[in-house]
Amino acid sequence: MTTQQVPGRRDPRLDRSRSAILSAAVALLAEGGVRAVTIEAVTSRSGVARSTLYRHFPTSTELLAAAFQELLPPLDPPVDGAPRDRLLRLVLAQAAQIEGAPSMAALVWMAAIGLSGTPDEGERTRLAALREHVVDTYRRPFDAVLADCLPGDPDVDFAAARLVGPLLFNALILRRPSDESFCARLVDDFLARR
Amino acid sequence: MTTQQVPGRRDPRLDRSRSAILSAAVALLAEGGVRAVTIEAVTSRSGVARSTLYRHFPTSTELLAAAFQELLPPLDPPVDGAPRDRLLRLVLAQAAQIEGAPSMAALVWMAAIGLSGTPDEGERTRLAALREHVVDTYRRPFDAVLADCLPGDPDVDFAAARLVGPLLFNALILRRPSDESFCARLVDDFLARR
Amino acid sequence: MTTQQVPGRRDPRLDRSRSAILSAAVALLAEGGVRAVTIEAVTSRSGVARSTLYRHFPTSTELLAAAFQELLPPLDPPVDGAPRDRLLRLVLAQAAQIEGAPSMAALVWMAAIGLSGTPDEGERTRLAALREHVVDTYRRPFDAVLADCLPGDPDVDFAAARLVGPLLFNALILRRPSDESFCARLVDDFLARR
Amino acid sequence: MTTQQVPGRRDPRLDRSRSAILSAAVALLAEGGVRAVTIEAVTSRSGVARSTLYRHFPTSTELLAAAFQELLPPLDPPVDGAPRDRLLRLVLAQAAQIEGAPSMAALVWMAAIGLSGTPDEGERTRLAALREHVVDTYRRPFDAVLADCLPGDPDVDFAAARLVGPLLFNALILRRPSDESFCARLVDDFLARR
DNA sequence: TCTTAACCGAGACGGTACGTCGCGTCTTTTG
DNA sequence: CAAAAGACGCGACGTACCGTCTCGGTTAAGA
């Protein structure tokens, strides 16, 4: 019997180069922000050739997206304690993450997805999917906690708007942290009105 | 009596070229978004020389800022009607503006001010000032309306976070409009908890 | 046997673009003089991109140097006839070349190499080397002829100074041609004193 | 009787600004070479306005010419000693001056006058006149000395070509100083052949 | 002495060229 | 045949000077 490969098996070099690219991109992103994630910089830092990079990421934007995804850890929903407490802890965690530098950049950058500029159809689609995916990732813990806090039909989007929206406002508009008392008031007001 | 000039008289060419630049920039911004506001495009469209443009706007960023400011009309605070009505109308107006394409872009763009990237001290300062100015412009109508709605000490920032934050969330994260019933619930919840 | 490439084979595009650049530069140089050899002009005339040009010639000066080199044919040392005749013919040829427009410009331009202006170390070195090379090119025919004319140790530099220096003086300072009788007197005087 | 001005009297401001310009230009020329003599640099250094400068020197070239002229002291013809000695001293002085940095630059620059480039008729004429003037300045001491050395009709141009040409050659082409023995050989060879 | 015209500084303006950076496509050669 | 290496055309950047121009303020000449 030959050493025939399993048909679904991929060329291992593909993974090697992809991860080299990604880790270089992530490092550059963490060090110098979005502006530093240049095709040139990534290739020269990762030792990967230009053409190889383009094989993996048709656009610099997609590379950036992947790097951001790598950099944004999902939140773990608090699982024990009173409902009000669990919600508060989740909101605090979300606030903390939003205020971190990479999240801030990612937030803004993702918010910018699909605003004017004219990327082609395909890219727009892929990016929209990425956005969806990230949003889902962050909605999930709220789903979990709210399902336990609220009886019946929890309108998660509305809840998220009321709970996370103000955090966004503080971070993006007022440029001030959302401290514990702020989050507590948010949560209590929210719970008081259903 | 002599035909003495007013001392403060400036070279009229300054105004001529500045407005030519700005109107070209605004047009490009409206047509093609931030990406279209190129130094090259602005100069060639306005007929103004490169060096002249740089004399007026040391950085492309500042040009963009000025163009955005030109494009973002301030909101008029509703002056008559019941307090709850006035507040609702203001929130609706704010929602409508946020959802407009230029505001959306401006919002994201201003949110990005000061994130990584390394503009020099001077520019960072000017941009921060611009941000402040724009934020103030939009806070003002809330000041006016809230002063009438709430007796005592209205914490305008907290109020704005609770009222506008969710609009931001809808626009930037969920990409859905904030309809009338959404805004009404926001306002009513807000008023119910002082 | 495989169709293996010769190992030293280079990307043919390199040669293509280099020669396109050079021929454009030479044409411009011949038509409009040094002042016409602009990066912009060369790129637009040769259809070569700016960045490509800079890849081949890090400095406009080096481009100019190459163009001049292309434009200056070396002199062939006369090989037959009496020594005095051979020397005279060489001097006449040298005079004729010096008086030609391109040589004149090249002469002045090379004389200017390394005078004030502050190019970086690397470029200065390359230009000095170029100067050496050109000087050698023109010294060589004198070496050949003088070796035959003079027994023993011909001090070629001194000879060249005495034979070519006056040609330079006529061309650069007096702006008059060095005619046959002038050259003949030069040669005869030179031979009379060793 | 009034304090009537002499009719030919000029506005003293003209002289003031002209000399301010010139001294700035000379300083820049001495410090940074031809490249440093910029209209901008001269105006900002001299405190003279752009328009004033252009009133005095229609072209930056003419300004440069004037600066060079300021920088090149004429040679004094040696007046005592044996003819051979006087000639030798003159040649040595000429060699010394040629080798000085400013003279070198001036030499090259003046040699370049009228090579291609397309200044307008008027300027070309003025520059040619300047060249003539400078050449005359340097021919004069040779006239004086040769008149005493040689009986009959001294062909000064031919003499200068033979005596100064080799100095030029050393300075411009070989980039080596013309030392005393070199000059002595030049002079002796020259005198030996009339 | 008092205008008044010339001269002046300051600097805006439209240009041209520069040298750099990053992009996305491409070709060639190596493992 | 993927990958490295890197050339290529392109478009935009920000800078440096150019030569022309408009503006008020100052100052010297002449009425």
Give pLDDT tens digits for A100-120.
Answer: 888 888 888 888 887 766 667
Which CA-bearing residue is nearest the C1' of F8?
C52
C9 touches strand E (CB under 7 A): yes
Amino acid (one-letter) located at A22: L
**Partner-chain residue, chosen from A108, A157, A185, that has the shortest CB–CB distance to B111:** A108
Contact C159, C142 (CB under 8 A): yes
pLDDT band at B114 (very low <50, low <70, confident <90, very high): confident
Residue D34's CB is within 10 A of a number of other CB atoms, namely 19
User: Comparing B82-96, C80-94, C125-139, which segment has the lowest mean pLDDT?
Assistant: C125-139
Alpha helices by DSSP H, chain A: 12-32, 39-46, 50-56, 60-71, 83-99, 101-112, 121-149, 156-168, 180-192
Residue B148's CB is within 10 A of a number of other CB atoms, namely 14
CA distances from C17 to A50, C5, C59 (A): 22, 22, 16
Between D177 and B5, whose confidence is greater? D177
pLDDT band at A6 (very low <50, low <70, confident <90, very high): very low
Give pLDDT tens digits for B21-67.
Answer: 999 999 999 998 899 999 999 999 999 999 999 999 999 999 999 99
Between A and B, how many CB-CB pairs are < 8 A?
A: 125
Confidence at residue A194, expressed as pLDDT on a 0 to 100 scale: 64
CA–CA dist B130, B62 (Å, integer): 9
Question: Mean pLDDT over residues A156-170, rounded?
Answer: 95
The separation, in Å, between residue C62 CA and nucleotide E31 C1' comes to 38
Please report how the helices C180-192 and C83-99 are oriented relative to each other, as an axis angle in degrees rounded to 10: 130
In sequence order, the 6+-apart residues with CB closer than 8 A to the CB of C17 are C46, C48, C52, C56
Identical fold for domains A12-70 and A73-193, yes or no, is no
- Contact residues on chain A for B162, CB-CB shorter than 8 A: 162, 166, 186, 189
* All chains having 3 or more CB pairs closer than 8 angstroms to chain C: D
CA–CA dist B51, C151 (Å, integer): 67
Q: Which residue of C has its CA nearest to D119?
A: C35
Between D149 and B142, whose confidence is greater? B142
Inter-chain touch B158–A33, beta carbons under 8 Å: no
Residue B176's CB is within 10 A of a number of other CB atoms, namely 13
The separation, in Å, between residue B59 CA and nucleotide F14 C1' comes to 9
What's the first-to-final CA gap in chain B, in angstroms? 65
- Contact residues on chain D for C168, CB-CB shorter than 8 A: 165, 168-169, 172-173
The percent of residues above 90 in pLDDT, for chain D, comes to 62
Please, how many CA atoms are within 13 Å of residue B31, restricted to the half-sphere of its CB? Answer: 12
Confidence at residue B154, expressed as pLDDT on a 0 to 100 scale: 78
Q: Is the pLDDT of residue C115 over 90?
A: no
Backbone angles phi, psi at B182, to 5 degrees: -60, -50
Nearest to B64 by CA among B115, B7, B99, B24: B24
Confidence at residue A1, expressed as pLDDT on a 0 to 100 scale: 42
D189 touching chain C per CB within 8 A: yes
pLDDT band at A10 (very low <50, low <70, confident <90, very high): low
Inter-chain touch B162–A161, beta carbons under 8 Å: no
Joined together, the tokens standing for residue D168 give 């030029």
Q: Does domain D12-70 have CATH number 1.10.10.60?
A: yes
A192 touching chain B per CB within 8 A: yes
The percent of residues above 70 in pLDDT, for chain A, comes to 91
Contact B143, B156 (CB under 8 A): yes
Q: State how far Cα A138 lies from the chain centre.
A: 8
CA–CA dist D186, D194 (Å, integer): 12
Joined together, the tokens standing for residue A9 give 């098996």
DSSP C194: -
pLDDT band at D36 (very low <50, low <70, confident <90, very high): very high
Confidence at residue A2, expressed as pLDDT on a 0 to 100 scale: 42
- Contact residues on chain B for A111, CB-CB shorter than 8 A: 107-108, 111, 172-173
Mark which residues 116-155 of B lie under 8 Å from A by CB.
116-118, 131, 135
Domain residue limits, chain C: 12-70, 73-193
Inter-chain touch D111–C115, beta carbons under 8 Å: no
Confidence at residue A12, expressed as pLDDT on a 0 to 100 scale: 65
Joined together, the tokens standing for residue C122 give 């690397």
Q: Is the pLDDT of residue C190 over 90?
A: yes
Label each residue of C133-153 as H, E or C: HHHHHHHHHHHHHHHHHCCCC
pLDDT band at C131 (very low <50, low <70, confident <90, very high): confident
Question: Mean pLDDT over residues C23-38, rounded?
Answer: 93
Q: Is the pLDDT of residue D57 over 60?
A: yes
Mean pLDDT of chain B: 88
Query: Looking at CA atoms only, how far is residue D158 from chain C in angstroms?
Result: 8
Joined together, the tokens standing for residue B33 give 């978004």
Q: Which nucleotide is at minimal CA–C1' distance from D51?
A: E8
Please report how the helices C156-168 and D156-168 are oriented relative to each other, as an axis angle in degrees rounded to 10: 130
Which CA-bearing residue is nearest the C1' of E10?
D49
Confidence at residue A85, expressed as pLDDT on a 0 to 100 scale: 94
Q: Is the pLDDT of residue B81 over 50?
A: yes
Contact C160, C186 (CB under 8 A): no
Inter-chain touch A161–B172, beta carbons under 8 Å: no
Nucleotides of strand E under 7 angstroms from a protein beta carbon: 6-30
C36 touches strand E (CB under 7 A): no
Q: Is the pLDDT of residue B11 over 80?
A: no
Q: Which residue of B has its CA nearest to A187?
A: B162
CA–CA dist B119, B115 (Å, integer): 10
In sequence order, the 6+-apart residues with CB closer than 8 A to the CB of C63 are C21, C25, C37, C39, C42, C53, C56, C57
The separation, in Å, between residue D72 CA and nucleotide F12 C1' comes to 46
Question: Mean pLDDT over residues D73-91, rounded?
Answer: 92
Q: Is B167 helix (H, G, I), strand (E, B) or coil?
A: helix
Inter-chain touch B164–A173, beta carbons under 8 Å: yes
Residue range A73-193, CATH number = 1.10.357
Nucleic strand E contacts from chain D, 54-73, CB < 7 Å: 55
Confidence at residue C4, expressed as pLDDT on a 0 to 100 scale: 39
For the whole model, what pTM was predicted? Answer: 0.84
Question: Mean pLDDT over residues C32-45, rounded?
Answer: 94
Mark which residues 39-98 of B lie under 8 Å from A by CB.
none
In sequence order, the 6+-apart residues with CB closer than 8 A to the CB of D89 are D78, D81
